[in-house]
Amino acid sequence: MSSYLKSVREWATPTLKSSAFLSRGVLTPEEFVAAGDELVYKCPTWSWEGGDPTKAKSYLPLDKQYLITRNVPCPTRVSALENSIATGGDGTAHIDDECDGEDWLVSRIVSVEEQAKIREQELEDGFDILDEEGEIMGDVQDKMAAVQVDDTKADAAAVGAAEEDDDEDEYADMADFEDDNVLEDEAAVQAAPAASASAEDNIRKVRTYDLSITYDKYYQTPRVWLMGYSADSNQPLTGDEMMQDVMSDYANRTVTIETHPHVSGPHASIHPCQHGAVMRTIVRNLTASSSSDEGGEDGGTGKAPSIEMYLFIFLKFVSSIIPTITYDFTQSVTASTAKSK
């Protein structure tokens, strides 16, 4: 019933004819196709699909009904990153004039490099070494020097012990030595096939996703769809399993299980009700950033991004919702989602 009502609503909505990219963050069908062409050109992992002709939308070309990228790796679950999330400040979009006044939070994931620095700092803070007088060393270089001195002493002791062992074993029974070697060689031969088999086991198998992008006529924005596959059997994931790869703020709220308009099987879909508002905010901030980079005064008008950049910006923002699904959007996009004052 819900799908039927949605289809009726979309059918009754007139097709957007005039560009409202800068003012509302939305696209006409023609602009969606232009942005999709640029994505396919810059990122060959994406391609256009026509799908079932009986399900084709009349406002889009028959061979460009939706975009798709297949076998996208998803190496970790989102829960592994949840403790590394920083929200608020420039990383949060507060958009309360769309979708029943609810805020749209775009989370910022702490990068691997930042996490490594944090761990190094924690290790350094907890790394206390006593000097010869029993006092704690405060300087990192002093600590490292002390460790190197201890290592040198340990190496010298090891060398001395080895020399003593050589003297004691100088006249060891060579027959025993040969027997030991034979046993070791036989063991190595027997272990060789097992080692070869384990090398294949060391190839990491991960979940994969097919991501597709359709044009939502009602909301006049792109809409992302996800179909996941298990690492071991390549079987489709259940809805609950796919939600494991969605930030918890959005799982079963902004991201729900829906019926894809072109592809069979249940898909996880990012609801597009706030896409236009978020995109409008990002585009305005990109324009303002361009103005400041060009030395413009406050209030000056900068260079707005082109329609062709839309999907690159869009996919960048979507990556904050599904951060562990590593799809390609190539272009480097950096923009705040906070509202401009």
As a residue count, the chain comes to 341
Of 62, 32, 34, the residue nearest 49 (C-alpha): 62
- In whole angstroms, what is the distance from residue 327 CA to residue 211 CA? 8
Contacts of 245 (CB under 8 A, 6+ apart): 74, 77, 78, 207, 209, 226, 228, 322, 324, 325
Of 326, 320, 336, the residue nearest 247 (C-alpha): 320
Pairing assessment for the beta strands 266-270 and 255-259 based on DSSP bridges: antiparallel
Angle between helices 275-293 and 310-318 (to 10 degrees): 110
43, 74, 99, 273: which is the annotated catalytic residue?
Answer: 273
- In whole angstroms, what is the distance from residue 186 CA to residue 33 CA? 65
Does the active-site annotation cover 273?
yes
**Alpha-carbon separation of residue 49 from 62, 210, 227, 315, 327 (angstroms):** 9, 13, 16, 18, 17
**Alpha-carbon separation of residue 213 from 28, 188, 203, 224 (angstroms):** 15, 53, 31, 5
Active site residues: 273
